[in-house]
Amino acid sequence: MIRPPCQAAFVAALLLFAATACVAVAQPPQPIKYSHQLHVTVNKIDCRFCHSSATKTASAGIPSVEKCMMCHRVIAVDSPEIKKIAQYWTEKKPIPWNRVTELPDYTYFPHFRMVNAGVACLTCHPGMDKADAAVQRQEFTMGFCLKCHRSRGVSIDCWTCHI
């Protein structure tokens, strides 16, 4: 029997969607519908413009409300989502984002070391540039880290990450 490939692909896609949705299902919706796709792919904004700590500190950081407002004082001010940001800004309240990307507590991961060594953001955050709602598509298992560490000849000593 000839299998119509599109049907199998459709079910596969459906199930995979269910799988990723299960990973993401624990995530409550974000307070603001922020689209990485729109900012990164369409408008070509560098990741490090918003996540500016990535080159300086262990944590990549989430942009402050002030940084959002730098642009959105003038850009797309009538959009309902931007109005929400403006509301936070007027009330001088931080935006309570829900954390998406998880790294286990017992590891030390300095963003600035990777970023300054030229590791592209998308290596560990694949598909983030195309995502409308941020999802963690890559589980940070030790094997994943070590694969890269080995291929680049970086230290794989236990204490490098587990300090």
Q: What's at 126, amino acid-wise? A: P
- Distance in Å, CB of 44 to another protein, minimum: 23
Q: Which is nearer to another protein, 23 or 148 (CB)?
A: 23
Residue with tokens 């490090």: 48
Q: Which is nearer to another protein, 142 or 150 (CB)?
A: 142
- Distance in Å, CB of 132 to another protein, minimum: 19
Burial state string for 39-67 with b = 16 or more CB within 10 A and e = fewer than 16: bbeeeeeebeebbbbbeeeeebeebebee
Q: Which is nearer to another protein, 107 or 150 (CB)?
A: 107
Nearest to 70 by CA among 35, 53, 45: 45
Terminal CA-CA length for the chain: 57
User: What is the distance between the alpha carbons of residues 67 and 88, in angstroms, rounded to a whole number?
Assistant: 12
- Distance in Å, CB of 113 to another protein, minimum: 12
Residue 111's Cβ-side half-sphere holds a number of Cα atoms within 13 Å equal to: 19
Which residues of the chain form contacts with another protein (CB under 8 A)? 1, 3-4, 7-8, 11-12, 15-16, 18-20, 22-26, 53, 56-66, 88-89, 92-99, 102, 105, 111
Q: Which is nearer to another protein, 46 or 102 (CB)?
A: 102
User: What are phi and psi for residue 160, nearest 5 degrees?
Assistant: -65, -40
- Distance in Å, CB of 153 to another protein, minimum: 26
Nearest to 139 by CA among 152, 124, 155, 149: 124
Q: Which is nearer to another protein, 98 or 116 (CB)?
A: 98
- Distance in Å, CB of 90 to another protein, minimum: 11
